[in-house]
Amino acid sequence: MTYKLIALDVDGTLIDDHHVLTERTKEVLKRAHQAGIQIVLCSGRSPKSIFPILEEIGFEGTAIAHNGAATVLSHNSELIHEFAFSAEEITPLIHYCRENQIHFDVSTAFDLFVESCRPEEREMYAKFFIDPIVREDATTHDQLVKMTLSAESDVMDRVEAQLRDHPVASRFHMIRSGDFFIDFMHKEATKGNALEALAASWNIPREQIIAIGNYYNDIEMLEFAGLGIAMDNSPEAVKQAADAVTLSNNEDGVAAALEKYCLNA
């Protein structure tokens, strides 16, 4: 099979546990790009947090950001698609976070807003190239694409269980995007839906798409792609949703998969 589009998750997939993009992986991605294959980074991160990774690889590209809620071109930051919602719709979730002292942020396609930001939280954002904008009331922003709750994993386990039955949760796509994060987005906002829309605009059939990911928020795109590949560091449910499993993100699993299924095919 000749593949024309490679969709890659970032954290836990493209970069290792130290947030490093290895030279081997960069070299393989450059080879794929030079072969005319579209490289699309698909992440829970914002575009501003994804673009530096594309720059490090060495070429411009497309970012499916906020777990599919916004699709953006890197060369001019053009927003080509988004699934947005109003701040009013998430007001009950904001009240829940305030009452339970759960840190949260809300995002437009390009900016991230918080009501408070302690040094440890600012350090967390810095790892993702984000400089949060502190505002007294996060509900004043409209055209939001994501709300994220964050805390230690045991706290997130409890919050996830509580919010599954929260009336407002049923109106959103709620996803555990990492051990420390829970995201709320538009019902239709998934990496899979965003990838499907992008591929259709480029006239690329799903059979000519490879998707690689490692977490629950990657399942929809793994199932949509003609070849869905899970990282070895993925939970079992993610591996079960994939067509194949590659090495872990600490073992250049993306490079190994592309060499096996794409570049040497």
Q: What is the CATH number of the domain that holds 144?
A: 3.30.1240.10
Q: Which amino acid is at 211?
A: A
On whether both 180 and 91 belong to a single domain, the answer is yes
Q: What residue has token string 């998934």? A: 190
Helix (H), strand (E) at residue 96: helix 91-100
Q: Among 136, 155, 185, which residue terminates a domain?
A: 185
- Band of residue 124 on the pLDDT scale cut at 50, 70, 90: confident
Q: Among 185, 215, 245, which residue terminates a domain?
A: 185
**Structural domain span for residue 172:** 87-185
Residue 195, number of CB atoms within 10 A of its CB: 26
Distance CA 192, CA 196 (A): 6
- Global pTM reads 0.85
Query: Pick from 13, 60, 55, 8: which is nearest to 33 by CA?
Result: 60
On whether both 99 and 141 belong to a single domain, the answer is yes
Chain-centroid distance of CA 185 in Å reads: 12
CATH code, 210: 3.40.50.1000
Q: Among 166, 185, 204, which residue terminates a domain?
A: 185
Segment 10-48, tens digit of pLDDT: 999 999 999 999 999 999 999 999 999 999 999 989 998
Count of domains forming the chain: 2
Contacts of residues 150-153 at CB distance under 8 Å and 24 or more positions apart, as own/partner, are 150/102, 150/103, 150/104, 150/105, 150/121, 150/124, 150/180, 150/181, 150/182, 151/102, 151/103, 151/180, 152/180, 153/179, 153/180
The answer on pLDDT for 265 being more than 60 is no
Task: Decide the pairing of beta strands 5-8 and 38-42.
Answer: parallel
Segment 201-246, tens digit of pLDDT: 999 999 999 999 999 999 999 999 999 999 999 999 999 999 999 9
On whether both 78 and 206 belong to a single domain, the answer is yes
On whether both 63 and 116 belong to a single domain, the answer is no
Segment 156-186, tens digit of pLDDT: 999 999 998 888 888 898 988 788 999 999 9
Confidence at residue 246, expressed as pLDDT on a 0 to 100 scale: 98
